[in-house]
Structure 1
Amino acid sequence: MGTMEKECELIVSRKGGGSVIDRQPVFSKDGRILFVVWGPVIRSYSIQTGELIDSYEGLKSRAVGVVLNPDNSDHIVACSQTGELIEWNWRTAEQKRKLQLDLNYKNNKPKLIVNFYVARTIERKIKVFLVWGYEKEKNAIVDIFNFTTGKISKTNFGQCRVDSHSHSTAIGGSNTGICIAGIKQNELFVISSEDGHQMRQFLGGQRWFTCVACHPTEACVATGDNSGRLLIWRGFNPGSKPVYGVYHWHTLPVRDVRFSSAGTYVYTGGGEGVLVKWSLDASQQRSFLPRLPASIAHISLSSDNRCIGISTDDNAIQIIDPQFKHLSVVQHFTWGVRPVATAPGRPGPLFPARLTRDPRTQSLVLNGRTGHIQFFSVHSKTLLYNLDVTGQNYLTQERGEVIVNTEVIKVAFSSAGDWLATVEQRDDNEISPELRLKFWIYDSTKQTYSLNTAIELPHKSTVYALEFQPSAISNRLLAVTTGDDQKFRIWGLTENSSLYSKGVTWICESVGFYQNLPVGAVSFSTDSSLLAVAFGCCVTVWIPETNELQCSLTHTTNDKTISQVNFGQQDCVHLIVSASPCGIYVWNVITLSLMWMVPFKLSILAADPKSNLMAAVSAENELVIFRPNCPQPMFRKPALVDSEIVAAAFVPHTSYHTSLVSWQQTSQLYFLDSNQELLVLEEEVANKYIDSVALETVPSSLKLPQTPFSALIAEQTKSSVLDPLAETHLQLGIPGDKAIRELLKPPAHTMPPISLLCAPFLRALIVTKSRKEDGSMERNDDEMEAEDSGMETDDSETSVVKPVPPTKSDNKLDLQHKTPKVKSQKVALADIEAKLESILHENVNWSFALLPEKSSTETE
């Protein structure tokens, strides 16, 4: 065992996940790019394809929003929670300026920014409208800052306080200047930024405001409330009470409301997963976009009204047109934002299926949207696809009721990835619980998994563990499940030759139990010959083919239930690692003895499939990397992250990987935290070194902007004096290959007559001659190389000349004999060019003999 790795060598880095729906996305002025807030990073996506285009970094804390610069639509401005303002040119990703807003004008208490806007006032000056509040407070304050200096312009104008969420404020234009609208529970504030005039309106009864939006040109405000109503407010004049109209369709609270760019229509969305388009002049005239994947969080519109962005709770942004036709989707990581509800008043875990590795694609598999599992590639950082496991419609929530949907709680793959097993569950404590075990087979033609066997109630009401046999014995693959009926069941793959269906199916082959103890985790040995099952505080070892008990390993009867069991790998195959809330225990199945035990409040245990390493995560987020044959850890890092770690898994490297950290040589350990982000531990110094080396080796042509003009710039300028010791490649590739490919590229029925194609094709094979201003011919590269080498080139497609440096005594002799050789080569090249030129002027009517009679007639 080597020395334990130092903590300072590794840093936590985010590789995926994270929310793209916390803040409202923004369209570019031409409506072709969508800017999305992703933590402290701003990302740009293509509207047509939904693919990531660029990332804009520099903020030190999470961004609260992104807007377009009113003076330059090619610039975007983002603000962080701590008041850091950065402006980029989004076309070149160049950071134009960085500004720190002066938040300490009032006091030095920590302040957090909730939202911000950048707008041009009636005096044609750009101002920053900031919504901020103190930490651990539910109220926020609106202030105006100078966009150039970052100093306060107006403080607490109107003395209004608003709710501290992203939908609590809005800004809009009018004929008299900018107005700001804010909500606080059942209060609505409308404030003029020019004179500070404020109007307050109360909402009666048990209703309160949930979102607000301002008309782009008029003094009009739209609000949504918790009863599902849309209210349109007008008449904000001094001395008069505003009036409002009621538009009602939603049954759940309205989560966002947005005006069209001209203010003719209003869009609303909420928990029903339905986008509603209202006509401002007719409350009964509306259209719907139903059956969105999840509840609506934000609504965004482009300035030309050609694109609508709908942020849904599955961490996706649906891009549609005004006719509700789907254009694309921005989604790289899906989830159910809220913890899965297993019963009313009993929220379940955030990701009940945890993290599982797909051996076929080396991707991570975890819960996606409700009833689905997602395949996320950690190497390309893309979402491969979602698999609908339950095959059920998503049931939205109802007012005053908790609707429980069927959710996937367990996922397992066979060693080759040919088989997938899932467990889905629904229990609302009112009707009989639903529990299904499904086996899926991979369909190579469809490139996805197809359902093979579905088993109702494999256990009483829930399943605790699900695992496949690592390798089939006697050509029979097995799987094991444990449940709340204190039993484990072994499932086998058999041939089905019934009258109604033929093929392979899964059946229950045997059932095991031990002293009526509750059953928990399971683990197969590497060679599949043994099965370890945790019963209470005991670890039992069985032969899976015959379901025979071999031994029972118990350290103390007073210990708590074993929560984790895992066989070792490679040289630790004879060891079993078990864990309880009190500690980690390692057993030797050969000697049936306890090798070592350490106190550790384990929460997660993960094994590296390519080595004998294991990772243990405690309830306090302490990470320990160890080998089962030694109690001394290889690496330890306390307080890995501030959030809670809910799952962890090793993913092998797909290519050769070098790392200064020994335990990261074969695989990378990924964490999933309560913020729904994928995290890894990386080498900060090593990554910077690799990046710097990679940048130095990038050709200069790739560093230039990809424009037609940049393609004309030479990558480097060759000198007339060449290194005599350097290898020179006279020719690479097949001569005429490009011309032939261009000739065969168009479809046959669209090609012009052959007589028009022969001349350009032959001309493409001629070496172009370039002349100087004085009329003399320049030496091409081949002639220069042959001249410098003093050797004749051969006729092969690729020739490499290795010149021999001459001695001092032979210099004069070599110079005397070099000129005739070069002249002879020039003569040979001139003859070849003359022959090709003559071919170009020959009659090519012979080509018509190669064509069918019909084609020849039509051509003539």
Structure 2
Amino acid sequence: MIRGGRSHVSAPPAFSNDGKKLLVCTGNDVSIFSTSTGLLVSALEGHVALVTSVVVEPAQSPGSKVLCYCWTAALDGTIRYWDFALPELMKTVDIKFPIFSMVIPSLFSQHVGSNNSRPDLFAYISIENMNEESHPKALHGQVRKCNLTKSSLAGLVMKETKRPPYMCMSPAGDFCSIINKRKLHIWKISEVDGPGIAPIKIDFHHTRDLTVCAFHHTQKIVAAGDISGRILIWRGFGSREFSKGVGKRSINDEGERPGVRGEDDADSCTTWHWHSTAVNVLSFSSDGAYLYSGGAEGVLVVWQLDTGKKKFLPRIGSPLLYFVDSPDPLLASVSCADNQIHFLKLPHMEILKSISGIKLPAALPKPYDSLYQSCAFDSNKGLLALRTENYAVQIYSLFDDREVGQIQICERNHQSGDEITVFLTKIAISWDGSLLSTVEVRLPEEDLGGLVCLKLWKSDSPSNQFKLSTVIYEPHREYQISALAFRPTKSMVCTTSDGGDFKTWVQNDCKSKEEKVPDSGWICLAVGSYKKKPMTAAAFSADGSILAVAAATVITLWDPDNNVLISVLGDSHVSIKALSFVGHSGLLSVSGGSKPQLDVWSLTEFSRLWSYSLQVEGIACSDDPSTFAVLALLPKNGDNFDEAAFQWRDGVILVFTGTSHVPTATWSVRKAERGAISFLRAKPEEHILDGRRSKFLVAFVNGDHEYVLFDPFGDGTDEHGVKRLMDSSVEEKESFGYTSIYGNLKELEPQDSKSAGTGVVPTGKDWSSIFSWPSHDPPPLTKVCSEFLESLLERRQAVTGS
């Protein structure tokens, strides 16, 4: 099983002591990236829940040997000690409570014991204690001490809050702090730290909720940002409470403490304001001369601490979350909300390299929610195309778990709070991966100026970059495009609309008289419709000879070359939202709405084979003509559904082989809503999963764009394998003629022709062939009546003697 698509920005990263590696919390693991190449080097695997903190053990002295040890904490309630050079787990401390944040001040302090040996190592952790009272005002967040040397949790509770707070530590390990709404709590770490010793604490107060704080490297200066974009800098904090002697000045003398509120223990407080929204990033430079800040604007601001002057690194393109210094004074990292980490060259503020994770889902306005499409797959190359919030399409490698390209659909500079007026609603990739099509919608302003735009792109295969080929404005007049489908064998794409028509588009390869280069633009080849019904879905057969288009509740089959209607299938109760061919003679249809349904059709009999009442999120068909998979949502709060049996998962992947309604494999998944699945054909012989070579793989992308690749016919020994289900919920095969009205006839018992004078046998006429015909070409009534009456008669055969 291959996993990927996890967030790189769920927690602050940490640099190695030599600055050559960056340790990043990615889901349940810690990924180690090279700072020179931005590529993944190795990973620390062992936690079974989200990793929330990583602390790298510093070198003993500037010239000493580089150490490769780190501590990690996670929501699984464990703290682990690693040698990340190997990588190897060396120690595990289980405290039984989810850990949301951790600092280890004594790692960075110079305190040693009386025998020149380091005393017990203590960590300060922010945990969630759900054992407390569950009333609305219960304080579940706690700041506790943990003895890492003895693997025990100290009984002392330093602070209780409603939610577990984020912990911040001074670079020298002398102070640690948390933010509790409008208060900043700071503790001084004692030189003699023990399980029952409570650090001295001071508080700072503000008029607005605080969001982030940072300590100066060498001086008693602390900075904090609030939700309004202001930055407060307290200088000389703790001069009275943290001093060994009596305070030198009266804290009530406001003239000597400008900007300080009430009895807050600081010499002065300065306020700076540039950000328009909440401050997410605060960090002092290693030399203490500058303060870095950032927020939703996507701009890194560099403040000169003495003068308040500032300079900027603009157009980062996404809200900033974390800024981390490196042991190399010329290197730093900034983490962004779009799941990217940029390496910065200081002091020039240049982006050297980037770690680009998978983009997060981009929502659509409610009027366009029915047009939602999460992604598109390139099954040959194992690529995924995702729409992003910055008007772009990200091309992501599922096997390498990294970005390999990006297509900017239209230009946009990121601005916090700006109203998004352009949305990407559809993406489709051709079967060979050389073509890509997108649909963008420009929202009207005061009911004027709305626009639908179809764009077709051509790929540069070596670099996976796409170049714009053709732009088609209003391809279906004022109506939205409901579906996109590429033809496998030719350069043709089909678009459908709610306006009651579908169009096929082909490349115009005619050479111009003046130009020797052929025109690669796209033109409309044909237009089709069926009884003016809305066209809601489309799919081509594997050989490209048939185009299936859903006309609301029916399926129409067309010859795409001649634009001729071939046949019409069935009539569903609700509108069809997806179609897919299965091999050479099967077709899947997915209906949504109040009565969702999955139907499997036979193209040889033009009838429904079987159906499920399922809320289907995605369908996929493999190269093997008889195999297909369905991603469906499990019922919510159903009477016959045991959530505990599925470990609280909300979706299931059913794999079918042939025309049987019984799944050959069943897999339960999480976050299935708005997920997607596909079969991958990208060199499966090179990938060995669970100790066996896989003929093909199934790719599942959940609603948060996390994904997993697995062998659908594997042993199922991992946590995703479950027992088969829903075998009894399948509907009976569709009945025809007499049976549809009166039910099945009793079977005739065969009689021995030697003991009876005559033998009575049925005519053998199949009623399904009598009453099944295309709706556009019914047979004559006289022929139907005669065949029906003949099927009811009994044929008698005379037995003659010898």
TM-score above 0.5, yes or no = yes
> Could you say which residue in structure 1 is the equivalent of 2:230?
229
Aligned partners of 2:124 and 2:145 also within 8 Å? yes
Deviations 1:160-217 (A, max 9, x none): 537546xx4311157xx7222221222222233336333333322xx32121222233
Q: 1:612 to 1:513 in 2, by over 3 A?
A: same
Deviations 1:30-58 (A, max 9, x none): 21211111112112111111111121122
> Could you say which residue in structure 1 is the equivalent of 2:456?
439
> Could you say which residue in structure 2 is the equivalent of 1:280?
305
Aligned partners of 2:341 and 2:356 also within 8 Å? no
> Could you say which residue in structure 1 is the equivalent of 2:331?
307
1:71 Cα deviation from its structure 2 partner? 6.5
Q: 1:164 to 1:684 in 2, by over 3 A?
A: farther
Matched, 1:576 2:587: yes
1:64 Cα deviation from its structure 2 partner? 0.8
CA distance in 2 between partners of 1:116 and 1:287 (Å): 32
The one of 675, 679, 690 equivalent to 2:708 is: 679
> Could you say which residue in structure 2 is the equivalent of 1:203?
206
What secondary structure sits across from 2:471 in the alignment?
Answer: strand
Q: How does 1:227-626 map to 2 (within 5 A)?
A: 227-234=228-235, 235-236=237-238, 237-238=240-241, 240-241=263-264, 242=266, 243-283=268-308, 285-326=309-350, 328-335=352-359, 337=360, 339-343=361-365, 352-357=373-378, 359=380, 361-368=381-388, 370-388=390-408, 390-398=409-417, 403-404=419-420, 406-427=422-443, 430=446, 432-443=449-460, 448-459=465-476, 460=478, 462-472=480-490, 477-495=491-509, 503-556=519-572, 559-569=573-583, 573-581=584-592, 582-620=596-634, 621-626=651-656
Aligned partners of 1:481 and 1:489 also within 8 Å? yes
CA distance in 2 between partners of 1:461 and 1:95 (Å): 59
CA distance in 2 between partners of 1:616 and 1:686 (Å): 17
1:61 Cα deviation from its structure 2 partner? 1.9
The answer to which structure has the higher helix fraction is 1
CA distance in 1 between partners of 2:581 and 2:291 (Å): 59
Deviations 1:642-693 (A, max 9, x none): 66461111111405379899999532001111332111335887999xxxxx
CA distance in 2 between partners of 1:350 and 1:188 (Å): 46
Aligned partners of 2:371 and 2:482 also within 8 Å? no
CA distance in 2 between partners of 1:45 and 1:122 (Å): 29
> Could you say which residue in structure 1 is the equivalent of 2:93?
99
Query: Structure 2-normalised TM-score?
Result: 0.74
Aligned AA (2:36): Q
Aligned partners of 1:610 and 1:667 also within 8 Å? no
Aligned partners of 2:442 and 2:451 also within 8 Å? yes
> Could you say which residue in structure 1 is the equivalent of 2:736?
none
Aligned partners of 2:12 and 2:322 also within 8 Å? yes
> Could you say which residue in structure 2 is the equivalent of 1:133?
128
CA distance in 1 between partners of 2:270 and 2:513 (Å): 66
Structure 1 window deviating more from structure 2 (125-134 vs 640-649): it is 640-649
Q: 1:169 to 1:657 in 2, by over 3 A?
A: closer
Structure 1 window deviating more from structure 2 (508-517 vs 443-452): it is 443-452
Q: How does 1:793-804 map to 2 (within 5 A)?
A: none
Aligned partners of 2:76 and 2:98 also within 8 Å? yes
CA distance in 1 between partners of 2:385 and 2:320 (Å): 25
CA distance in 2 between partners of 1:333 and 1:605 (Å): 26
Q: 1:680 to 1:138 in 2, by over 3 A?
A: farther
Aligned partners of 1:172 and 1:216 also within 8 Å? yes
CA distance in 1 between partners of 2:413 and 2:625 (Å): 41
What secondary structure sits across from 2:373 in the alignment?
Answer: coil
1:506 Cα deviation from its structure 2 partner? 0.8
> Could you say which residue in structure 1 is the equivalent of 2:4?
16
1:407 Cα deviation from its structure 2 partner? 4.0
> Could you say which residue in structure 1 is the equivalent of 2:734?
none
Q: 1:418 to 1:480 in 2, by over 3 A?
A: same
Q: 1:48 to 1:503 in 2, by over 3 A?
A: same
Q: 1:341 to 1:75 in 2, by over 3 A?
A: same
> Could you say which residue in structure 1 is the equivalent of 2:98?
112
Question: Larger Rg: 1 or 2?
Answer: 1
CA distance in 1 between partners of 2:464 and 2:686 (Å): 28
Q: 1:686 to 1:647 in 2, by over 3 A?
A: closer
CA distance in 1 between partners of 2:282 and 2:372 (Å): 30
Matched, 1:184 2:141: no
Q: 1:191 to 1:76 in 2, by over 3 A?
A: same
1:492 Cα deviation from its structure 2 partner? 2.0
What secondary structure sits across from 1:563 in the alignment?
Answer: strand
CA distance in 2 between partners of 1:162 and 1:532 (Å): 56
CA distance in 2 between partners of 1:492 and 1:663 (Å): 42
Aligned AA (1:22): S
* Ranges in structure 2 where 5+ consecutive residues have no aligned partner: 61-66, 113-118, 191-197, 242-250, 252-262, 635-650, 719-802
What secondary structure sits across from 1:355 in the alignment?
Answer: strand
Deviations 1:551-585 (A, max 9, x none): 222245xx11112211122xxx1222112243221
CA distance in 1 between partners of 2:705 and 2:589 (Å): 27
Aligned AA (2:225): G
What secondary structure sits across from 1:650 in the alignment?
Answer: strand
What secondary structure sits across from 1:480 in the alignment?
Answer: strand
Q: 1:448 to 1:429 in 2, by over 3 A?
A: same
CA distance in 1 between partners of 2:692 and 2:87 (Å): 36
1:262 Cα deviation from its structure 2 partner? 3.4
CA distance in 1 between partners of 2:292 and 2:688 (Å): 52
* Ranges in structure 1 where 5+ consecutive residues have no aligned partner: 1-12, 104-110, 689-860
CA distance in 2 between partners of 1:355 and 1:517 (Å): 27
Q: 1:446 to 1:304 in 2, by over 3 A?
A: closer
Aligned partners of 1:422 and 1:439 also within 8 Å? yes
The one of 61, 70, 75 equivalent to 2:69 is: 75
1:310 Cα deviation from its structure 2 partner? 0.7
Q: Percent identity between the aligned chains?
A: 24
CA distance in 2 between partners of 1:660 and 1:296 (Å): 37
Deviations 1:111-164 (A, max 9, x none): 42210011216754432010112459886221121121132346222x353754
Aligned partners of 1:178 and 1:192 also within 8 Å? yes
Deviations 1:90-119 (A, max 9, x none): 222232222223x5xxxxxxx422100112
Q: How does 1:634-649 map to 2 (within 5 A)?
A: 634-637=664-667, 639-641=668-670, 644=673, 646-649=675-678
Q: 1:132 to 1:49 in 2, by over 3 A?
A: same
> Could you say which residue in structure 2 is the equivalent of 1:850?
none
Structure 1 window deviating more from structure 2 (578-587 vs 311-320): it is 578-587
CA distance in 1 between partners of 2:314 and 2:272 (Å): 18
> Could you say which residue in structure 1 is the equivalent of 2:795?
none
> Could you say which residue in structure 1 is the equivalent of 2:189?
193
Structure 1 window deviating more from structure 2 (497-506 vs 577-586): it is 497-506
Deviations 1:460-479 (A, max 9, x none): 3532211111113xxxx321
1:25 Cα deviation from its structure 2 partner? 0.8
What is the root-mean-square deviation in Å for CA atoms of aligned residues? 3.1
Aligned partners of 1:351 and 1:646 also within 8 Å? no
Aligned partners of 1:610 and 1:652 also within 8 Å? no
1:625 Cα deviation from its structure 2 partner? 0.7
Aligned partners of 2:30 and 2:45 also within 8 Å? yes
1:297 Cα deviation from its structure 2 partner? 1.4
CA distance in 2 between partners of 1:152 and 1:686 (Å): 38
Q: 1:660 to 1:674 in 2, by over 3 A?
A: closer
What secondary structure sits across from 2:303 in the alignment?
Answer: strand
Aligned partners of 2:17 and 2:58 also within 8 Å? no
CA distance in 2 between partners of 1:662 and 1:84 (Å): 30
